[in-house]
């Protein structure tokens, strides 16, 4: 008996010793796992029902799980995530929803309006905790949510709505192309989210004088044919606002638009990477993060009945310069839109973040920036056009180098006259009586109507041909005490010289300009004198508004001019496409003085690098913002010459650029 007890005791002792050794050897794993799982000790299962694998859905997913991980919930650690993806097949989605509801998941997540409806319908009696995202309007989705920012909803259901900025994108489109008349939309009438967005599009189109032409579809295979029908009906652009069916085959829609050389603008971020003109929509990664916050709160014990459904639309913009330059009609990105853009696709298809290269801007001034002050600049210009964009690119780059960065310690109050001289004085009155610290004027008419009329604010100007001719002073050192700035007189002599080298038999040239613009009058006067010296006949055609441009260009053609040259006229550039259209039909080359317009059927550009003009304006602007009297800062002339050649136009006109001229390109 005693021997048996001894044997049992020995066995128990060995078991205790082995257990202790095992626990001791595993001590590191124990401590590490406790660090990985700070919130819960057990694995929590959640399910995601997503309509498809589109970039928008993937962005939302990424945002959700990045946020969950930041909150301590890691898939493969303390979290088990099951993704259900029917790839646009609704019968399959219904079966998946039933499986989720019966699957003992702690939280069920749906992405897109269709999946919200599908999962909510399957969950009517089970009341599994349900969180949603990527939904246009939760209130109209028919799942029992009666109001935003309210608890008037099913207790087990909550999430984030993201209404697309439909009305805003139409206003932007009209601003980029004031002649926009017809916009087409392809949409699935079975999608309630798309119906909501299209209704908003109808309302804003009526308000803006745009005709919205609709092409309903049922399946993705219908998209291309529907888009082609819209093109046949004479649309100027295509818009898409959030239709899930269309987004799954957006390439077909974009291909039709590109073939017709009309733009596609979208409320879904990312379509411009595929060939759209611009996207103005929501950052769905940020939307996903907000959904992730809600899920983490619920996993940590918060009652979903206490979480109101909210709308969250974080703005995100992408611009495609390559597409813009290929369009049939003239579309011009505004400075405001450039500033908002997170991504810009340039002419070479390179995708750039919206940060300006400043490596060449090495010279700095000793300017005392107040770290506690937010500086405000009133920006006024004639009308949106690429030259303005170049000026602002150089300006913002140098301001950043000087310690003034938009979005941090600097903001702009931006206004333009929509190409109408009569509206300029209104801009001046508004800005001069506002809370801005200084006014920046671009173009000569705005210098005269805003800068020279300002009584309360200091002014800096640039993108101006000749400030003395404009009346801003009698010399570069003796000028109006409230302003200073940068003049950039175009290289007219070089323009005529290069034109004669390219067209050695030329005798008669034409130009057209607005006699109300003193900058144009001054340049035309210089051109007139130089033409006499060079044995050239100059034919001048006046235009008072852009509406006069076609008739003026036709009159030059009727007088057999052999080339049309520009004289830095703002009105002419606003009507440039109409002018080059007349010139092309009559086989007349066009020579410009603004490099930003080389792609508008110009033979060549002999002009000014206006980005450099903007760069140069940053210094006096920063000085004035920090207390320097503009009367003490002399005017400067900055005219960095640029020569560009358009081989495509030359080929069409049977013109060969001499090697000497090609060597001048810069």
Tell me whether residue 191 is in a domain: yes
CB atoms within 10 A of CB 27: 9
Which positions ≥6 away from 365 have C-beta within 8 Å? 402, 619, 622, 623
Q: How many domains does the chain have?
A: 4
Q: Distance between CA 139 and CA 152 in Å, rounded?
A: 10
Residue 470 shares a structural domain with residue 566: no
Q: What percent of the chain has pLDDT over 90?
A: 62
In a domain, 359, yes or no: no
Residues 589, 573, single domain; the answer is: yes
What is the enclosing helix (H) or strand (E) of 564? strand 564-565
Q: Is 587 left (phi over 0), alpha (psi -120 to 50) or beta?
A: left
pLDDT tens per residue across span 266-292:
998 788 888 999 999 888 889 999 999
Output the pLDDT for position 357: 31
Q: Are residues 479 and 574 in the same domain?
A: no
Do 481 and 519 belong together in one domain? no
* Distance, CA of 95 to CA of 82 (rounded, Å): 15
pLDDT at 353 over 90: no
CA distance 210 to 62: 38
Whether 600 maps to a domain, the answer reads yes
Alpha-carbon distance 368 to 362, whole Å?
Answer: 18
pLDDT band at 366 (very low <50, low <70, confident <90, very high): very low
Together in a domain, 569 and 621: no
Q: Is 18 part of any domain?
A: no
524 and 596, same domain (yes or no):
yes
**446 within domain boundaries:** yes
Give the whole-angstrom CA distance, residue 417 versus residue 448. 13
Cα dist from 39 to 34, 482, 620, whole Å: 9, 63, 56
Query: Is 23 within a domain?
Result: no
Q: What is the spatial distance between Cα 118 and Cα 104, in angstroms, rounded to a whole number?
A: 18
- Cα gap 569→622, rounded to integer Å: 29
**Which H or E element spans position 539?**
strand 537-542
Quick one: 606 and 622 in the same domain? no
Q: What is the band of 474 on the pLDDT scale with cuts at 50, 70, 90?
A: confident
- The reply to whether 147 and 191 lie within a common domain is no
The answer to whether residue 252 is domain-embedded is: yes
Side-chain half-sphere CA neighbours of 578 within 13 A: 18
Measuring CA to CA, how many Å separate 269 from each of 176, 276, 429?
Answer: 18, 10, 37
Q: What is the CATH number of the domain that holds 148?
A: 3.40.50.2300
Q: C-alpha angle with apex 137: 134 to 143, nearest 5 degrees?
A: 95
Range of 302's domain? 44-162+287-311
Residue 485: name the closest of 615, 372, 593 by CA.
615
Mean pLDDT of 157-178: 94
176 and 319 housed in the same domain = yes
Average pLDDT, the chain: 87
Q: What does the pLDDT look like over 137-149, one tens digit per residue?
A: 899 899 999 999 8
Same domain, 67 and 212: no
Kindly state whether residues 276 and 425 are assigned to the same domain: no
Count of H-run helices and E-run strands, the chain: 24, 26
Over 60: is that where the pLDDT of 196 sits? yes
The neighbouring-strand residues paired with 146 are: none
Residue predicted with more confidence, 663 or 650:
650
346 lies in some domain: no
One domain, residues 50 and 67: yes
| Whole-number percent of the chain with pLDDT over 70 | 91
Cα–Cα nearest to 573, from 402, 486, 447, 444: 444
Question: pTM score, two decimals?
Answer: 0.47
């Amino acid at each position: 008996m005693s021997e048996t007890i001894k044997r049992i005791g020995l066995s128990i002792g060995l078991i205790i010793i082995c257990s202790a050794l095992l626990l001791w050897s595993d001590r590191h794993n124990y401590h590490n796992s406790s660090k990985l799982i700070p919130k819960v000790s057990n694995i929590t299962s959640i399910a995601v029902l997503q309509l498809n694998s589109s970039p928008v859905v993937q962005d939302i997913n990424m945002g959700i799980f990045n946020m969950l991980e930041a909150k301590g919930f890691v898939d493969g650690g303390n979290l088990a995530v099951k993704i259900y993806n029917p790839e646009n097949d609704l019968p399959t989605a219904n079966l998946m929803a039933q499986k989720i509801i019966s699957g003992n998941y702690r939280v069920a997540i749906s992405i897109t309006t269709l999946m919200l409806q599908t999962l909510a319908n399957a969950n009517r009696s089970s009341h599994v905790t349900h969180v949603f995202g990527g939904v246009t309007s939760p209130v109209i989705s028919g799942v029992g949510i009666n109001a935003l920012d309210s608890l008037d909803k099913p207790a087990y259901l909550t999430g984030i709505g993201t209404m697309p900025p439909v009305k805003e994108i139409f206003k932007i489109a009209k601003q980029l192309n004031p002649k926009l008349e017809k916009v087409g939309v392809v949409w699935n009438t079975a999608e309630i989210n798309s119906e909501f967005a299209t209704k908003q599009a109808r309302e804003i189109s009526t308000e803006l004088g745009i005709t919205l032409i609709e092409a309903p579809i049922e399946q993705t295979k219908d998209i291309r044919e529907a888009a082609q029908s819209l093109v046949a009906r004479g649309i100027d652009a295509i818009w898409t606002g959030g239709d899930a069916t269309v987004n799954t085959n957006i390439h077909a829609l974009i291909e039709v638009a590109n073939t017709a050389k009309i733009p596609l603008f979208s409320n879904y971020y990312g379509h411009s990477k595929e060939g759209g003109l611009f996207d103005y929509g929501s950052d769905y990664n940020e939307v996903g993060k907000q959904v992730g916050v809600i899920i983490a709160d619920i996993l940590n014990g918060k009652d979903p009945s206490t979480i109101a459904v909210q709308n969250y639309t974080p703005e995100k913009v992408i611009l495609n310069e390559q597409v813009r330059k290929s369009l049939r009609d003239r579309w011009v990105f505004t400075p405001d839109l450039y500033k908002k853009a997170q991504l810009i696709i340039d002419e070479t298809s390179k995708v750039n973040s919206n940060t300006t290269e400043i490596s060449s801007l090495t010279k700095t001034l000793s300017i005392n920036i107040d770290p506690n002050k937010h500086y405000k600049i009133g920006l006024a210009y004639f009308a949106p056009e690429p030259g303005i964009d170049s000026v602002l690119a150089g300006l913002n780059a140098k301001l950043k180098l000087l310690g003034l960065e938009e979005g941090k310690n600097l903001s702009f109050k931006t206004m333009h006259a929509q190409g109408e001289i009569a509206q300029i004085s209104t801009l001046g009155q508004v800005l001069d009586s506002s809370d801005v610290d200084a006014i920046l004027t671009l173009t000569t008419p705005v210098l005269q109507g805003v800068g020279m009329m300002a009584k309360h604010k200091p002014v800096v100007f640039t993108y101006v041909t000749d400030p003395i001719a404009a009346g801003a002073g009698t010399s570069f050192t003796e000028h109006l005490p409230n302003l200073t700035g940068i003049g950039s007189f175009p290289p007219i002599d070089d323009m005529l010289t290069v034109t004669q080298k390219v067209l050695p038999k030329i005798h008669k040239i034409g130009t057209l300009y607005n006699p109300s613009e003193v900058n144009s009058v001054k340049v035309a006067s210089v051109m007139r004198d130089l033409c006499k010296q060079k044995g050239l006949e100059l034919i001048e055609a006046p235009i008072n508004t852009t509406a006069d441009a076609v008739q003026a260009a036709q009159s030059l053609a009727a007088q057999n001019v052999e080339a049309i040259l520009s004289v830095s006229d703002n009105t002419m550039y606003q009507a440039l496409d109409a002018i080059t259209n007349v010139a092309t039909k009559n086989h007349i080359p066009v020579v410009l003085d603004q490099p930003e317009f080389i792609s508008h059927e110009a033979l060549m550009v002999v002009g000014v690098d206006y980005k450099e003009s903007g760069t140069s304006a940053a210094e006096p602007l920063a000085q004035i913002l920090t207390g320097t009297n503009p009367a003490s800062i002399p005017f400067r002339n900055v005219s960095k010459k640029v020569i560009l050649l358009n081989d495509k136009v030359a080929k069409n006109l049977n013109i060969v650029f001499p090697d000497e001229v090609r060597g001048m390109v810069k």
